[in-house]
Structure 1
Amino acid sequence: GLVFDKDGNVNITDQPYVDALNFMVENADADYTPADSLSTAATESQELFTNGKVAMQLNWSHQYPAAVEALGADKVGCAPMIGGSAGIGATTGPWYECVMKNSENKEMAKKYVEFMYDHNADYMDLTLKIAGRTSVYEEAGKVAGNEHTTAVLETLGSEQSQARPMVATWSQIEEVLTNVVESSIGGADVKKTLETAKTEIEAIGK
Structure 2
Amino acid sequence: MAVVTVCLPLGAFLTCIYLSLRHNFDLSTATHCGVPNYLPSISSAIGEFVPQRYIWRFAIAIHSAPRFLMASMYYYNFMNRVLPNIRFYKNAARVLCCLNVVENVGLISLFFVSSKENYDIHKVSFITFMVCSELYMVLTFLLLKDNKHRLTHSLERQAYYKKKQLMIANLTSFIVALYFFYRHNKYCEPGSEYDLSDITVFNPLRPRT
The TM-score, its normalising length taken from structure 2, stands at: 0.26
The structure having more radius of gyration, on CA atoms, is: 1
The TM-score, its normalising length taken from structure 1, stands at: 0.26
**Relative contact order higher in (CA < 8 Å, ≥ 6 apart):** 1
